[in-house]
Chain A
């Protein structure tokens, strides 16, 4: 089992990396950083979900980074024009996609084993 500490580290690292990607306009490439972390941390299928959480956190921060709440106001306008009612469906879609992309990245990374890492022990 991964400790909460390891999970916390994974979330934080993926959040920071996905934030950096988002700032440069490549938010959807966060599977790359997730794969890297999945490989380094030797995560499994389920624990890779923590990288998905990190992706959500990083993406969410990047939404507010430059314009704060104005971002939601503007997205709300877009959401209403698109007939979605508000920003909520757009935000939900963005965060779900971030989660899935990071999780999938983590899965890819966890499929490989580096020489200096050990396999995650399965609970007995």
Chain B
């Protein structure tokens, strides 16, 4: 046990609410060896970030938290240190990377200045006094580090401001900054969640390389089993503030013993496996802090749970060599397909409920262009009114032609900046295409100038579901008001008919009528997305444009929403335009997929054909970058 240089022992983290303490993390113990990568996996709200950020005293600044237990770094208990002493530990020995690199970097200073500054701070803490020397050392170190994190022209990057770098580059700068004190432990909290798959793969490879070259220990917090499978040595699964299973990666991926681990794995859509039916999901939600069930915390969501596990807290079982731990009454050692199906609510008989596309074009795009003006100032306004419109700007969509058929589930996949969202907005008539573009939607020409009646007619046919339901629902309006909005605006229904339609729609998306009077803030992410879907369904449209409807949700919830979309398609005879960056998801469910890159549609094909024989190199690249927990293991690990 002596090589365990970082150890969390019986850590409890609670939120002080004045008269009571709300438990967030409950009795977590885990050890990290030098030079290993531990991935901490769980759905949002399971307490993964709170464990590590709380344990390293970062939450002291943001919330009134109560810590109990031990967090040992080479035998020193970090919970007993003052924040001054902690500052010595952080940066020097432990460093952090966060999800939003843009938020973490100061927009007012150049990358170089920020890197040198953090070096200077550390050097001063270590007792160096020669200011000039520290600064030159810092500059040298910054250059070295930028090179180490794979920047091709570190001298150029040094002089840039954070906003001049792409998301992936920013994350590399963040990593360089974390490495400046040569830490022994790197904690990365969802470092790749905001990034595209191809960039994610690069960053993961980089992290793995750095960790191995430097012999650093690394804790990677993620909600995505796919990511964990690419980089981990060991995986710990957290649920409702408890660790429910820990083990070496191979064991965790091939023969997990806790149903939750298995379910998380099965929920990840796989690029090479087309599900003709529904996605696998986990029913329900992570229990809210303070409302955890008495027995096995996952039991209420587990269709395989025994009576006993519903009532009594399960024992902790270790494997013989102490390598694996599971918290369960009845660990499952032999997963049969039937068990997996039952666990993930996958019903073979429900496979054939899909409708097949008709031979009727419903969305017709011909030579569609969209240019965004560079800047809206007085000059550009004058120019616009004086008719010299075609100014310079970014062309988000370039000469795009595409037919989508009635009843089709059409996927559009691409990375950030590929123009996929703009395309969705054009179909929705939320953006004006450049002159010369032809867009026909449901037999309405939307590139021409139209009056309000025609616009209404179009909007009755096309509705949209947005990426982030937290953002797309007005926080000040109740669920009922949100769903009723398009009904009042687009249909001539009476008040009572609107109410009836609203309750039908809530029913259709699987929400109880009781949510009608509540504001969206009281609902979970998945429930909110259901409300957004109910709103879109209200006017009985024939087309729904869904712009990344699941990317803000957990994998388990993602499955629920996609399944709902599939069910509703058959029920309401819908055509879907499903915009996403997740290739494995879209190839699993869509009929046809269009791949976009740099504003162009580079490939359109059947989902199966696309996966089996991708025609365009870009599609191949996307497919290769997709993390897949079931692929041959340790894709990244073998690079070293």
A binds B: no
Residues of B within 8 A of A (CB): none
